[in-house]
């Protein structure tokens, strides 16, 4: 069963994403002839620092149920997390998190062959090197 909906919202790490907003975003991209790449929150962490994927799985199941052709990425510019939000994720952990996301994608039949992008780095500087060094 899809028990992800609560008053027509999908549970996400930072709260609730109105399903209608996701539907509108997807429909806009489709009407514009664009392919949607949806970034998942890489900073939603468990106490052991691993990525908390529960909200991502809910989103995957909802999107698959709608047959949305989406590609995925985990986080955005992880080399800037420290300056943007005061939190870091090292490269070893981020690699494990991407492996977990790939496993989740494969567990949702509709997304078993979906594209997975990232991690990308914006303005690569010394923080990017630190991320790569782990």
Burial degree of 41 (CB within 10 A; 0-12, 13-18, 19+): middle
- Amino acid 32: pLDDT: 95
Question: What domains can be seen in the chain, in order of their start residue?
Answer: 9-133 (3.20.20.80)
What pLDDT, in 10s, does the model give residues 79-91?
A: 667 667 777 777 8
Structure token pair of residue 56: 């991502």
Q: Which DSSP string corresponds to 72-119?
A: EEE-S-GGGHHHHHS----HHHHHHHHHHHHHHHHHSGGGTT--EE--
pLDDT of residue 60: 94
Measured CA angle at 122 (ends 46, 78), to 5 deg: 10
**106 falls in which pLDDT band (50, 70, 90)?**
very high
pTM summary value: 0.76
């Amino acid at each position: 069963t899809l028990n992800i909906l609560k008053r027509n919202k999908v549970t996400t790490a930072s709260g609730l994403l109105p399903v209608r907003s996701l539907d509108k975003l997807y429909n806009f991209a489709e009407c514009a002839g664009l392919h949607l790449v949806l970034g998942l929150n890489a900073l939603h962490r468990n106490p052991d620092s691993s990525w908390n994927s529960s909200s991502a799985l809910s989103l995957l199941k909802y999107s698959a149920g709608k047959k949305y052709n989406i590609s995925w990425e985990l986080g955005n510019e992880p080399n800037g997390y420290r300056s943007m939000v005061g939190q870091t994720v090292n490269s070893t952990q981020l690699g494990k998190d991407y492996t977990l996301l790939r496993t989740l994608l494969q567990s949702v039949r509709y997304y078993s062959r979906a594209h997975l992008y990232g991690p990308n780095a914006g303005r690569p500087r010394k923080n990017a090197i630190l991320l790569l060094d782990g």
